[in-house]
Chains A and B, each alone.
Chain A
Amino acid sequence: MNTQYDFDVVIVGAGVAGLIMAKQILEDAGNFRVLVLEAGGERSKSFEGHREYLKNFFEALIKIPNSPYPAEFYAPHPNELETKLLNKNDPAAELQYVLQNGPQPFRTTYTRSLGGTVQHWLGTCLRLRPSDLKMRTTYGRGLDWPLTYEELMPYYRKAEFEIGVAGDVDEQKLDGFKFEDGYVYPMEGIPKSYVDSELERRLNGHTFTYAGTTQKPRVTASPQGRNGIPNPKYKDENKNQYVPLGAVGRGDLGLRCEGNSSCVPICPAQAKYTPVKTLNKIDIPEYADRFSILYNSVATKLHIEKESGNIESLEYKKYGRGSISTKQVTAKVYILAAHAVENAKLLLNSSCKNDLIGRNLMDHPFVLTWGLSDWNAGTFRGPAVTSTITSLCDLPTRKDLSACRIEISNWGWNWATGSPYAEVDEFLGQGLHGQKLREALKNNISRQIEFNFLTEQLPDKDNRVTIDENFRDELELPRPKLHYQLGEYERAGLIEAKKVSDQIFKSAGVTDCTKYDKKDPGYFEFGQSNAVFYGAGHIGGTHIMGLNANDSVVDKDQRSHDHRNLFAIGSGSFPTMGTSNPTLTIAALSFRSAEAVLRQLKQANPWN
């Protein structure tokens, strides 16, 4: 073992990408030493911390994704309400940690604490489609990935084991996904909710028009990273059946999804995967002498060796009560797993030269539509989303407008109006109380149908993260500034979504109640139509992968083209977004990149 370095590997960020990476390196026979630096705190490591998060959620007046997870004073993160654009006349915009330079607000946030943004993920575990990775070749839009679906397949399997995916492979096959023969998910699929099944039944035989084509609504159950019934046919790498992992600190709880439907922002049962479950596999006595994780430690700068371009050390600030100390750490390999915006911020603050750093910022911008069914839909049962309408995920129309995937909400109009709290407020305002109030709520809430149309955003170099020396955080680090707008491609896709919604609602016996507010920060117009877009919490781009330093920041192993002992991992590496939620792919890429890191560590000179 080379003791010239403090560690073999330093990983920045204790989220899903970083912790899977740490686990893979520690489990290797090479006895490598790993340090993880986490900018935020460790509350999610204990059951008591989870309770504290739950309390925050229950008490929050607006239940946004970051509502259970308070930001650290020294490691702030944005929240969903911080959408004010920088404006000389509005000093409040400058107080938002992430500066919104416009022209449109970036409505997506992330979380800086143990577990990262995946603490408030929905849990949907769709793979990317083969065509999602070949957008340029197939549709003449966006970019191609330097990886094929076939290359990713074995790593998807590893990711599905690690996260613990409950799903139905046969249904996914019908939806166009390829799997190895005989493969099943670790757990049997989470059943479709009553809303899903009723919509499926009522839409059977109907068609709708979409961008000049005729389509059938296809309701598909989503594979999900939450505990269900273990599939007896599943065999892991050691030929064992899958054993669900329970709540952090209370392994006897959370062994099955309880259908609480508050998955975003917090699963009360912890049946939903959290990266802390991965941490618990490596934070064990066997690894105690070669694994460290430091909380409240913000990576601030990579020091680059002039000639080789290799990273020679990483500077970080450790903060405590009233104290901040600056430290250095050296390693053979450095891995940035701090999520797209923070990875870019760190690379930019380290004066890394590649002009593409921070560029091609993406999300799954989405519009909501909502209506009241003329049948009892039994809303608010089951996890937040159990099925999606997948008919529009991969059509030839992708050459003209963005593809979209329609999530069917089990949580009524929660995203759209703040249901059920908003309705209580409204009916009280109408003077209803007692029995009448209860009747009115029951009648309204159990018929609430909401669709979320998630669209694919293309990489655009002008959508980007920069850092601004004039605006600094409490550690004196320049804060991230976002330049963001939806292109014609995305706007066209979002507007078309509303037209689809109108037709589906009509076929299913649902009265449209959608209203887009001109004053909403996400309001936009396109042609004769308008809508309000939201951010899905799926940040991509900022250090995209590709073939060389001219077209990308990292290679297919997520290794920097310019700094050979530096990896930047996570959805920041995605060259395009597809319409699938990114976490499963982030996890799969981590498994894949871990092999590259291990190969590099085993070389005589790991810097080559």
Chain B
Amino acid sequence: MELIKTIEQLRTELQAGVVVEHTTIPVYLVALYSLRGDANARVRDVIHHVLMEEMLHLTLVANLINAIGGKPNLCQKTLMVPFPAPLLPGNNFKVNLSAFSKSTVHDFLQIEKPAPAADQPKGKGRRTIGDFYDCMRDSLKLLHEQHGDTLFSAPSNPQVTGKFYYGPGEIVPVTNLETALFALKTIRDQGEGDSHTIWEREPNYRFKGSLEPAHYYRFKQLLDERSWRLHDDPAKLPTGPGVTVSWNDVYPMKRNPKIEHYDGELKEGALKFNKRYGELLCLLNETFNGKPEKMGVAIPMMSQLRDLAIAVIRQPYPGKKGFNAGPTFEPVDQPCGCSALAKGAVAVK
């Protein structure tokens, strides 16, 4: 990927990062909602943890955009896209809303696929999220060489800090090159890692001993039904203790459900979910555009979404025997308080 030459362009590219990070969220959420009962407690842990880290990444990217004078755009009108949805510009791979299954986990592996290690030749054509963030890092360094600290001298909005954000990993207010690189490194290491190592290279965890595999390898444990041991070879199978996966304790949700197929109470329920999800995004948009304290309102909404989603996913899919309905994550035509905010937000590619 070619390095970026102007600050303006870097802001635009980072907004693409916001879109990428967000695109993974409905995908993981649906898989999580589809788990039925307690049989898949371990699976739930793995997906939930990754999901929380994706939210961290989204927050870090938004912090970075604000730090270099851009305005992150999280408005529902920008972020809610129909599924299947392309993950990255310049890559044909599309992600789906689908219930937890082996094929879904294969999709997860695609999303989180590690970049070739630095000393290996880059594959042609296939871009990974890792490549994307490597390019952001190198571009940022280059721009900093040219512009110095003025790059960070006019932040557009206050940073979201540990006061309002909590979860796995470390939230850093981005104020200079060091913290900007740290934020990018956190995203890179937690997500894809590289093909040399299973583990997040430098875990920024508060707790001793909680070295976690990078996302790709975490999901691989589910497919192999076995956990990684410290010195396992990433190219081979994990050799640690077994992981219980109950592939059948899942609501058989139809892939990429559409609200146009729903009616009656089911439609009402699904609409309620989509509406709420849209409101959540707009609330986050406010959070990242001047009102970090709004995060405190956004978090309980996330728990409410779970209840709304489960009410939908329990229902049969109209006209599709053997399949269940599910949340559709489709945009709802509703007035949105973001429009005023969004003025001056960076364009979306």
Contact = CB atoms under 8 A, between A and B. Distances in A.
Given A251-B206, A251-B210, A252-B52, A244 B38 contact: no
Contacts of B210: 251
Contact of A280 (B49, B207, B299): B207
Contact of A243 (B38, B52, B206): B206
Given A51-B41, A55-B38, A255 B166 contact: yes
Interface in A231-290: 232, 243-246, 250-252, 255-256, 258, 280, 284
Contact of A251 (B205, B299, B303): B205
Interface string B148-186: 000000000000001110111100000000000000000
Chain A interface: which size bin? Answer: 10 to 19
Interface string A45-81: 0011001000100000000000000000000000000
A234 to B, nearest CB: 12
B45 A256 contact: no
* The 9 A-B residue pairs with the shortest CB-CB distance in the complex, in nearest-first order: A252-B168, A255-B166, A251-B207, A252-B167, A284-B208, A229-B163, A243-B206, A256-B166, A252-B52
Contacts of A575: none
Nearest to A249: B210
Nearest to A286: B208
B325 to A, nearest CB: 24
Nearest to B299: A256
A251 B207 CA distance: 7
Given A256-B299, A258-B303, 19 more contacts: A47-B45, A51-B38, A51-B41, A55-B38, A229-B163, A244-B166, A245-B206, A245-B207, A246-B206, A246-B207, A250-B45, A251-B168, A251-B207, A251-B210, A252-B167, A252-B169, A255-B166, A284-B208, A284-B209
21 contacts: A48-B41, A51-B38, A51-B41, A229-B163, A229-B164, A230-B163, A232-B163, A244-B166, A245-B206, A245-B207, A246-B206, A246-B207, A250-B45, A250-B49, A251-B168, A251-B205, A251-B210, A255-B166, A255-B167, A256-B166, A280-B207
A508 to B, nearest CB: 27
Contacts of B209: 284
Contacts of A230: 162-163
Nearest to B164: A229
Chain B interface: which size bin? Answer: 20 to 34
Interface string B197-219: 00000000111111000000000
Nearest to A55: B38
B300 to A, nearest CB: 8
Contacts of B167: 252, 255
Contacts of B303: 258
A245 B210 CA distance: 13
A198 to B, nearest CB: 20
A423 B41 CA distance: 32
A230 B209 CA distance: 24
Nearest to B41: A51
Nearest to B167: A252
A284 B210 CA distance: 12
Contacts of A55: 38
Contacts of A51: 38, 41
Contacts of A47: 45
B170 to A, nearest CB: 10
A387 B210 CA distance: 36
Interface string B48-61: 01001000000000
Nearest to B162: A230
Contacts of A258: 303
B39 to A, nearest CB: 12
A52 to B, nearest CB: 10
B108 to A, nearest CB: 19
Given A230-B162, A230-B163, A284-B208, A252 B49 contact: yes
Nearest to B166: A255
B172 to A, nearest CB: 14
A244 B169 CA distance: 13
Contacts of A280: 207
Contacts of A255: 166-167
A131 to B, nearest CB: 37
A252 B210 CA distance: 10
B243 to A, nearest CB: 12
Interface in A396-435: none
B164 to A, nearest CB: 8
Contacts of A250: 45, 49
A248 to B, nearest CB: 10
B302 to A, nearest CB: 11
A578 to B, nearest CB: 34
A444 B52 CA distance: 37
A284 B41 CA distance: 26
A58 to B, nearest CB: 10
A414 to B, nearest CB: 21
A229 B164 CA distance: 8
